[in-house]
């Protein structure tokens, strides 16, 4: 399998006149060992349709192509999106037919844009939008069963955090609505060009059934946002605006079996679902 190393990445960037931008989180992997590790950790099979967000110059794409039935790569940068099929034909001619490149913003794609129903997300995500991208794809692509993503180390910790930990917050609870989330190992900064000034981490996601509740996901997510907007406050106070008054918040919490004097960081996603359900029934 031919992969992109430091020499190939720089040569391609120079040929395309690409100056990696921070705004688009353009840090390209120059280490074959890292992309092989990502593909291994993703546990893909020959039946999988992989969606890759931000393929960039194709470092990860080239490692994925031989291992899956199809790769749908969504890239926002028109120059990179235009080059990728050429790179695949050049470096992996026997597998290039499996690649579909979609020139789009990952935050706006839906099933109709992709031409296939992805079963697995494998991506070195653009760091400034990594959490919204993961949540968006899990929401709009029901076919997605698993994911293995590389994100900033701190974001990996947050996504996988459990109730009661200091870094547990909105990304942790919302991700838990969709998936069992675990850290899958650290990645140093020197596997990238240009090297970012933070370390990275791998995160594995396995789709789970959402909590059973009569509230909608939007209703539950509103409670989560409200609880963490003032995370130092008790839930009785933090949910006052959401419920109308502190007394109404207290009533919803008690009905949901949650102590009104605890804080959001102590609750699991099922608790938030129950709180939303109790408010919803009162307001209907």
The CA distance from 53 to 122, in Å, is 8
**Residue 149, token pair as written in the block:** 């993503």
Q: Pick from 181, 178, 180, 138: which is nearest to 156 by CA?
A: 181
CA atoms within 13 A on the CB side of 225: 9
Does 56 contact ligand SAM by CB under 6 A?
yes
- Shortest Cβ 133–ligand SAM spacing (Å): 7
Does 131 contact ligand SAM by CB under 6 A?
no
Does 105 appear as a known binding residue?
yes
Whether the upstream peptide bond of residue 45 has omega within 30° of 0, thus cis, is no
The CA distance from 277 to 12, in Å, is 53
Does 130 contact ligand SAM by CB under 6 A?
no
Does 200 contact ligand SAM by CB under 6 A?
no
Does 105 contact ligand SAM by CB under 6 A?
yes
What contacts 78, CB < 8 A, 6 or more positions away? 103
Does 83 contact ligand SAM by CB under 6 A?
no
Does 147 contact ligand SAM by CB under 6 A?
no
For ligand SAM, give the closer residue by CB, 67 or 77: 77
Does 64 contact ligand SAM by CB under 6 A?
no
Q: Which residue has the tokens 């009569």?
A: 214
Does 124 appear as a known binding residue?
yes
Does 107 contact ligand SAM by CB under 6 A?
yes
Does 141 contact ligand SAM by CB under 6 A?
no
The CA distance from 85 to 61, in Å, is 10
For ligand SAM, give the closer residue by CB, 24 or 167: 24
Q: Which residue has the tokens 């009162």?
A: 282
In the annotated binding site, the residues are 27, 29, 54, 75, 105, 124
In the annotated binding site for S-adenosyl-L-methionine, the residues are 27, 29, 54, 75, 105, 124
């Amino acid at each position: 399998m031919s992969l992109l190393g430091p020499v190939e990445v720089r040569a391609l960037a120079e040929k395309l006149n690409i100056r990696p931008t921070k705004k688009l989180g353009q840090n390209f992997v120059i280490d074959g060992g890292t992309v092989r590790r990502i593909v291994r950790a993703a546990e893909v099979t020959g039946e999988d349709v992989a969606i890759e967000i931000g393929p960039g110059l194709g470092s990860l794409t080239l490692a994925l192509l031989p291992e899956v039935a199809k790769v749908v790569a969504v890239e926002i940068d028109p120059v990179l999106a235009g080059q990728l099929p050429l790179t695949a034909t050049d470096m992996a001619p026997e597998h290039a037919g499996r690649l579909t490149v979609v020139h789009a913003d990952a935050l706006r794609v839906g099933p109709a844009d992709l031409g296939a129903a992805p079963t697995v997300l494998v991506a070195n995500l653009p760091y400034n939008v990594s959490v919204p991208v993961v949540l968006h794809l899990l929401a709009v692509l029901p076919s997605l069963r698993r994911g293995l993503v590389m994100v900033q180390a701190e974001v990996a910790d947050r996504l996988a955090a459990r109730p009661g930990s200091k870094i547990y917050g909105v990304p942790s609870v919302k991700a838990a609505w969709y998936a069992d989330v675990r850290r899958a190992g650290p990645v140093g900064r020197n596997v990238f060009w240009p090297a970012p000034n933070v370390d990275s981490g791998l995160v594995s996601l396995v789709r789970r059934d959402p909590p059973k509740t009569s509230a909608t996901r939007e209703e539950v997510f509103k409670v989560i946002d409200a609880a963490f907007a003032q995370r130092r406050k008790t839930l009785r106070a933090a949910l006052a605006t959401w419920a109308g008054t502190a007394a109404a918040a207290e009533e919803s919490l008690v009905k949901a079996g949650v102590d009104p004097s605890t804080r959001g960081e102590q609750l699991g996603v099922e608790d938030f679902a129950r709180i939303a359900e109790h408010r919803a029934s009162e307001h209907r």
